[in-house]
Amino acid sequence: MEEVKVYGVWASPHSQKVIWALKLKGVKFDYIEEDLHNKSQKLLQYNPVYKKIPVLVHGEKPVAESVVILDYIEETWPENPLLPKDAYERAVARFWIQFGQEKSPTFHAFFRTAGEQQEKAVKEALEVLKILEEKGLGDKKFFGGNNIGLVDISFGWLAHWLEGMEEVVGIKLMEPSTLPRLHKWIKNFKEVPVIQENLPDPEKLLAYFKVLREKFVRDLPSNDQ
Amino acid sequence: MADEVILLDAWNSAFGMRVRVALAEKGIKYEYKEQDLGNKSPLLLKMNPIHKKVPVLIHNGKPICESAIIVQYIDEVWNDKAPLLPSDPYEKAQARFWVDYIDKKMYDVGRRVWSSKGEELEAVKKEIIQHLKLLEGELGDKPYFGGETFGFVDIGLIGFYSWFYTYETLGNFSIEAECPKLIAWAKRCMEKESVSKSLADPHKVYEFIKGIKKMLGLE
């Protein structure tokens, strides 16, 4: 069997997504931690277009972009399927994964800005979460149904990273009273053994977010602070 | 049971063109419903309530949204002829990577071309050239992005060809001069009926944009 390597960063939910998918399928891999301030030659060679993590390398063949990597993992290791068999259901799953991608600037703005800009981002983020809960999750246990799938994995950051961001920014988005189903989903998601055993240390993550937030606020134009 | 296939689309949408090309490649009969994006129909709002955008494919009453997802759906359901995606998982991943790149980069610059001017326009122009050069590099000496046969990445990019004349005229540059191989590729694609019948007339696109600019006072 060909060697599998994952280039990632401990704090990134994007590299964690790849790790979760591989572990759920029982695929052995080597993990290489990258220093984003000093990117390795290998990373730049494997992802010349974006120069970002995560990158999956199978044999010597690199796959970049987490959405593309997840699809690749699903197709290469079909055991323990993470996408529905039905083509229509699969298209719906892909829709939600893409929805998450498209809305990430809103959550970036939530974390990186202040004042009016942040207020606007908070309002948008709450709308996004409401849509996700009502139209995406509905009454299902997981986005994937009874078992977790790629959509759950794609939104995994809501289950562990958002908490730290909210604490540092001082604004709560994921209120149990307004988003009860998502709240329950978070609990169910974190109880899945592979997820539970593969989450970055929350204290370490919080400290990391604090440093990041300070930097973002410092770099804001003065009338936005 | 006969399939009922409806496409909600707008004539000049490069994303809608992807779906038209895919349907034509597979020889699928469908009903085309032109959408007025300035006055969205109840059907569009019902079928794509979250984004309210085109294209939307409605297959036996069920909507599929997002052009790249629609094309993959078409390929998976009508899998008896004209495969659009490679069968090898690695090749498939590369194809998806490039369509994702086109999604991320081309729509945004396209929109900024007609809404900006002066220095900003110059910057957008440079970006367009940069993206197209990268794509041209990926094409290399192959007849199509997929190799010998027309496929997913070709479908992903070709709709934007109908917008090149608009970019060139507004930005005052020649894409052919910057990316000759890419233009050769586009012309090769246009020799296919599935493409030539699906793409909008570039001059009509330009007239449309000219009209928008006038209406918005952006001349």
List the single residue in A with minimal CA-CA distance to B60: A88
> Residue B145 — φ and ψ, nearest 5°?
-60, -35
The CATH number of domain B89-216 is 1.20.1050.10: yes
**Mean local confidence (pLDDT), B27-31:** 97
Q: Using the predicted structure, report yes or no on whether residue A89 has a pLDDT greater than 90.
A: yes
Among partner residues B50, B76, B93, which is closest to A68 by beta-carbon distance? B93
Q: For position B188, what pLDDT does the model report? A: 98
Q: What percent of chain A has pLDDT over 70?
A: 98
Complex ipTM, two decimals? 0.95
Q: Domain B5-77 belongs to what topology? A: Glutaredoxin (3.40.30)
DSSP output for A164-178:
HHHHHHT-----TTT
Strands (E), A2-101: 4-8, 30-33, 55-58, 61-64
Identify the DSSP state of B33: E
Size of interface A-B (CB pairs under 8 A): 55
**Mean local confidence (pLDDT), B109-120:** 90
Q: Name the pLDDT band for A220 (thresholds 50, 70, 90).
A: confident
Do B89 and A64 make contact, defined as CB atoms within 8 angstroms? no
Per DSSP bridges, beta strands A4-8 and A30-33 are: parallel
Termini Cα distance of chain A: 54
Q: Using the predicted structure, report yes or no on whether residue A28 has a pLDDT greater than 60.
A: yes
Query: Nearest-CA distance from B71 to chain A in Å?
Result: 10
Q: What percent of chain A has pLDDT over 90?
A: 96
Q: Using the predicted structure, report yes or no on whether residue A170 has a pLDDT greater than 80.
A: yes
Do B97 and A65 make contact, defined as CB atoms within 8 angstroms? yes
**Residues linked to residue A32 through DSSP beta bridges, in sequence order:** A7
Per DSSP bridges, beta strands A4-8 and A55-58 are: antiparallel
Instruction: Enter the tokens of residue B57.
Output: 């494919």
Query: If you compute the radius of gyration of chain A from its CA atoms, what whole number of angstroms results?
Result: 18
> Residue A103 — φ and ψ, nearest 5°?
-90, 0
Q: Is B63 helix (H, G, I), strand (E, B) or coil?
A: strand
Q: For position B219, what pLDDT does the model report? A: 77
**Mean local confidence (pLDDT), B194-207:** 98
Q: Taking the domains of chain B in order of start, what are their residue ranges? A: 5-77, 89-216
Residue B19 class from Cβ within 10 Å (0-12 exposed, 13-18 middle, 19+ buried)? buried
Looking at B4-8, B104-108, B203-207, which range is the least confident one?
B104-108
Q: Name the pLDDT band for B162 (thresholds 50, 70, 90).
A: very high
Report field, pTM of the whole predicted structure over 0.90 = yes
Q: Using the predicted structure, report yes or no on whether residue A225 has a pLDDT greater than 60.
A: no
Instruction: Enter the tokens of residue B154.
Output: 């070709």
**Mean local confidence (pLDDT), A163-176:** 96
